[in-house]
Amino acid sequence: MTNRRNFLKTTALASAGLAFQAFKSESRGENITAPIKSTKPIVLSTWNFGLQANAAAWEILSKNGRALDAVEAGVKIPEGDPNERSVGYGGRPDRDGRVTLDACIMDELSNIGSVACLEHIKHPISVARAVMEKTPHVMLVGEGALQFAIAQGFKKENLLVEASEKEWKEWLKTSQYKPIANIENHDTIGMIALDANGNLSGACTTSGMAFKMHGRVGDSPLIGAGLYVDNEIGAATATGHGEEVIRISGCHLVVELMRQGLTPQKACEEAVMRIVKLTQNRGKELKDIQVGFIALNKKGDYGSYCVQGGFNYAVHDATGNRLLDANYFLK
Ligand code: SD4
């Protein structure tokens, strides 16, 4: 029987946002309620702009909203910010001076939607969601994605801001395509969330590698590469050199590793180690590569790992919103 002490303990833990599992104590033959160390709601996102994005997602999660709505609202913050030069409006263009955007979204029922090489639309994540909810398909690209967006009422606008145009013109002087790991050159926002009802969703959106070849698509709009959600297990998203993430079907791998019993942290580490091994096998320099994963499981445990230092991610739960440095392989 639940005695008062247990009830008080339960109430206190419940108000702290923890989840419970009732079980019968073998030794004492009484029902007690023990925490299963579950934190929900919780939201994680890549890089330091994740703090602001998490805050927007938290508005929804803290009111018992759906993880899907939270991740869409969250990533729209950097998408709409002209000063964020690697996502949405303000993103750096490709080598032809065109801002082409990639995004995907996945919900707790494994509904998926994606757009790639989409131009002129400020919020590709919302177009990806429309693909998911309003078409029989899962991915639209280029001109077709733009036509669909316009038909859905999205506004066609110029996304190339002055600062990005200036950088591009500077780049044209040498036209050297040399992807640089971390920070200025490419920062994608990937966001994964667990809502108060225990459902997971994720979103990922980017302008991709700066000055990429026109038509180049990275991992970010590819379900299984830049994002994956399995509502029974967990969710993962990635940032960094998309080619390397695609090579290992990165986020699907992370989720499958969690299914096999690895913690989110260990699953991210194992996925990064695959990249390390394949890079070395192919005789390429690891120092030229950056990939970071973040992962969250069904209990609200999370983790992150990347190839080299410099990657951080933001976590928001009932205790607050914070930025964490990811641990990394190349010391
Ligand atoms: C891409 N993964 O297009 C993206 C870029 C990125 O941090 O994540 N930058 O390859």
For 128-171, what is each residue's pLDDT tens digit?
Answer: 999 999 999 999 999 999 999 999 999 999 999 999 999 999 99
Lowest mean pLDDT among 28-32, 191-195, 288-292, 311-315: 28-32
Cβ–ligand 1 contact at 186 (below 6 Å): yes
Q: Same structural domain for residues 108 and 7?
A: no
Distance from the alpha carbon of residue 116 to the mean position of ligand 1, in angstroms? 13
Q: Same structural domain for residues 9 and 125?
A: no
The model scores a pTM over 0.75:
yes
Distance from the alpha carbon of residue 243 to the mean position of ligand 1, in angstroms? 9
How distant, in Å, are the alpha carbons of 15, 36, 38, 41, 143 from that of 18?
A: 7, 8, 5, 9, 47
Ligand 1: residue of 239, 245, 291, 308 to mutate (most ligand atoms within 8 A of CB) is 239
Centre a 10 Å sphere on the Cβ of residue 225 and count the other Cβ atoms it contains: 27
List pLDDT tens digits, range 201-212: 999 999 999 899
Minimum CA distance residue for ligand 1 atom 10: 242
- Mean pLDDT score of the chain: 88
Q: Same structural domain for residues 14 and 145?
A: no
Of 69, 87, 86, 76, nearest in space to 52 by CA: 76
**CA–CA distance, 306 with 154 (Å, rounded to integer):** 36
**CA–CA distance, 170 with 163 (Å, rounded to integer):** 11
Cβ–ligand 1 contact at 101 (below 6 Å): no
Q: For residue 127, give its domain range.
A: 42-330
**CA–CA distance, 103 with 86 (Å, rounded to integer):** 12
pLDDT at 179: 59
Q: Same structural domain for residues 76 and 17?
A: no
Residue type, 287: K
Q: Same structural domain for residues 6 and 80?
A: no
How much of the chain is helix, strand and coil, in % rounded to 5? 35, 30, 40
Atom of ligand 1 nearest to the CA of 245: 2
pLDDT above 50 for 33: no
Which CATH number characterizes residue 249's domain?
Answer: 3.60.20.30
Q: Same structural domain for residues 25 and 106?
A: no
Mean pLDDT (whole number) for 77-94 = 93
Helix and strand totals (H; E) in the chain: 9, 15
Q: Same structural domain for residues 12 and 128?
A: no
**275 CB contacts (<8 Å, ≥6 apart)?**
244, 245, 247, 248, 250, 289, 291, 307
Q: Same structural domain for residues 24 and 84?
A: no
pLDDT at 136: 98
What total number of domains does the chain contain? 2
Residue type, 163: A
Q: Same structural domain for residues 12 and 147?
A: no
- Pairing mode of beta strands 139-141, 112-118: parallel
Cβ–ligand 1 contact at 242 (below 6 Å): yes
Burial tier of 283 (Cβ tally within 10 Å: 0-12, 13-18, 19+): exposed
Q: Same structural domain for residues 30 and 46?
A: no
Q: Same structural domain for residues 263 and 132?
A: yes
Cβ–ligand 1 contact at 94 (below 6 Å): no
Q: Same structural domain for residues 187 and 248?
A: yes
Centre a 10 Å sphere on the Cβ of residue 189 and count the other Cβ atoms it contains: 32
Centre a 10 Å sphere on the Cβ of residue 278 and count the other Cβ atoms it contains: 13
Distance from the alpha carbon of residue 137 to the mean position of ligand 1, in angstroms? 24
pLDDT above 90 for 290: yes
